[in-house]
Amino acid sequence: MSSWSSSTKNAHPWEKPAEGARTAFSRESVDDRPRNRPAQVVSADHAPLPNDVLQFHGPILSITNSSATSGSKRGTLFRPRQSQGRLAKLRRRSDSGSRISSEIMAAVPKPIAMDVDTGIDDALAILYALAHPDLELLGLSCVAGNVALDQVVINTCRVLDAAGAANIPVAAGAAQPLIERARRKGGGPHGLNGLGGIQLPGPSRQPSPLHAVELLHRLIIDATEPVNLVTLAPKTNLALLLAGHPEIATRLGQIIFMGGSLSKDTEFNVWQDPEAAAYVIQSPIPTQMYGVDLFDRLVIEQADIERFRGRDHSAVRLVAELLDKPRPQHGGPGNNEVGLLGDAGALLLLTDPEAFVTEDLPVYIGLEGAGRGETIVARGATDEDPSWPAPHGSPRLQVVVDVDVTKAASAFVETINAFPAI
């Protein structure tokens, strides 16, 4: 276990520091770190991830860097589905009776890639992405989080199988955070198998032999349109992707960052790997932060869950089972609720942005002391304000601060009701 402290100044986040300069972070033994030291943050002018962190994940980055020039295989292995398939998806939904306008029918869906630690709400998000006519899910990268990495991969493949989407690539990524051991190793609110005990048939296929970082890189580079990267898990895979392939910043439309909190509370995705989260939010890529504060508010009514359960469609019935699993609200144990969308709300931010209110706000992530893993959002202040505790130049994100619950929940229900036939 170790900590990072900022030292290099005036370096662009995606450029190497000048020769002879110190790397952006130095590690020190946790045994030498004062326990009462105030939380520090990675400044917005940081350089690439430090060498010791890159060496910790050396096999990953050596694979991604050495394969970056082997483009001859990329188009044949992971070519995104073409627009004819996308339009067929739209037509199936239109034929099912959903209200689809001619404008939507004429539009090409947004390509997305998802980084997941598939638990209950990640599974809901995957199913929503598959059902929505405006989204084209290119592939999924997996990271340890709600459960161990092997179980995350199994869950992801099983959910895709339930939706008849076995052609979408899935790859295993980081099994541990950048510099610490994983703090959650299984169990928790998602149950021992990550899906609340729901038993699905074994996967019908093998995951990709590629590491998740390389899969994401190939999907992004091969896409004919900017890719929207949706991260619903600890940010380890994304930090490694951005550090190893900074050129993809120009190929991404935006990052949907599920994590953090407006209320300074610790949220799991950031808490599990705060260094990775801090690195991701400082990228030059437009980023929207969907925090845990909204989890308790986006709830699907029991009547809709029962209608899903009665459908003759394996994916829609799975949505009902997932929604019907009681999970703790953000208030803590004893506040269990059914119908919580959780991570799936971040997908609604992408498809139905008019249901959300966002503000451009400075954000920083504590990396040391009692504030380690906290996400501090300076709402009502600026990073020039003397009372603002972060360094000047803290990254600014589009932070979701409010949601039209009725509109967002209705959008989710409508999309799942119109799930294309398998």
**pLDDT surpasses 60 at 264:** yes
Kindly state whether residue 47 falls inside one of the protein's structural domains.
Answer: no
CA triplet 328, 292, 380: central angle to 5 degrees? Answer: 140
pTM of the predicted protein model: 0.77
Kindly state whether residue 274 falls inside one of the protein's structural domains.
Answer: yes
Residues in the chain: 422
pLDDT at 192: 75
Confidence of residue 377 (pLDDT cuts 50, 70, 90): confident
Quote the mean pLDDT of the chain.
76
CATH code, 287: 3.90.245.10
Distance CA 380, CA 364 (A): 15
C-alpha torsion sign, points 32, 239, 39, 47 = positive
Kindly state whether residue 239 falls inside one of the protein's structural domains.
Answer: yes
- Which of 45, 112, 48 is CA-nearest to residue 256? 112
Kindly state whether residue 397 falls inside one of the protein's structural domains.
Answer: yes
Kindly state whether residue 14 falls inside one of the protein's structural domains.
Answer: no
pLDDT in tens, 307-357: 999 999 999 999 999 999 876 655 554 455 789 999 999 999 999 999 999
Average pLDDT over residues 264-288: 91
pLDDT at 327: 65
The larger pLDDT score, comparing residue 186 to residue 113, is at 113
**pLDDT surpasses 70 at 394:** yes
- Encode the chain in three state secondary structure: CEEEEECCCCCCCCCCCCCCCCCCEEEEEHHHCCCCCCCCCCCCCCCCCCHHHHHHCHHHHHHHHHHCCCHHHHHHHCCCCCHHHHHHHHHHHHHCCCCCCHHHHHCCCEEEEEEECCCHHHHHHHHHHHHCCCEEEEEEEECCCCCCHHHHHHHHHHHHHHCCCCCCCEEECCCCCCCCCCCCCCCHHHCCCCCCCCCCCCCCCCCCCCCHHHHHHHHHHHCCCCEEEEECCCCHHHHHHHHHCHHHHHHEEEEEEECCCCCCCECHHHHHCHHHHHHHHCCCCCEEEECHHHCCCCECCHHHHHHHHCCCCHHHHHHHHHHCCCEECCCCCCCEECCECCCHHHHHHHHCHHHEEEEEEEEEECCCHHHCCEEEECCCCCCCCCCCCCCCCCCEEEEEEEECHHHHHHHHHHHHHCCCCC
Question: Which of the listed ranges 51-65, 283-297, 364-378 does the model predict with the highest average pLDDT?
Answer: 283-297
Confidence of residue 57 (pLDDT cuts 50, 70, 90): low
pLDDT at 37: 31
Average pLDDT over residues 162-178: 95
pLDDT at 330: 54
**pLDDT surpasses 90 at 184:** no
**pLDDT surpasses 90 at 92:** no
First to last CA, the chain: 47
Share of the chain above pLDDT 70, in %: 67
The larger pLDDT score, comparing residue 303 to residue 59, is at 303
CB 400 within 8 A of CB 291: yes
Containing domain of residue 408, as a range? 57-417
Kindly state whether residue 23 falls inside one of the protein's structural domains.
Answer: no
**pLDDT surpasses 90 at 305:** yes
**pLDDT surpasses 90 at 76:** no
Find the range with the poorest average confidence among 124-133, 179-188, 255-264.
Answer: 179-188
Average pLDDT over residues 278-302: 92
Kindly state whether residue 50 falls inside one of the protein's structural domains.
Answer: no
Number of domains in the chain: 1
pLDDT at 212: 97
Kindly state whether residue 373 falls inside one of the protein's structural domains.
Answer: yes
**pLDDT surpasses 80 at 29:** no
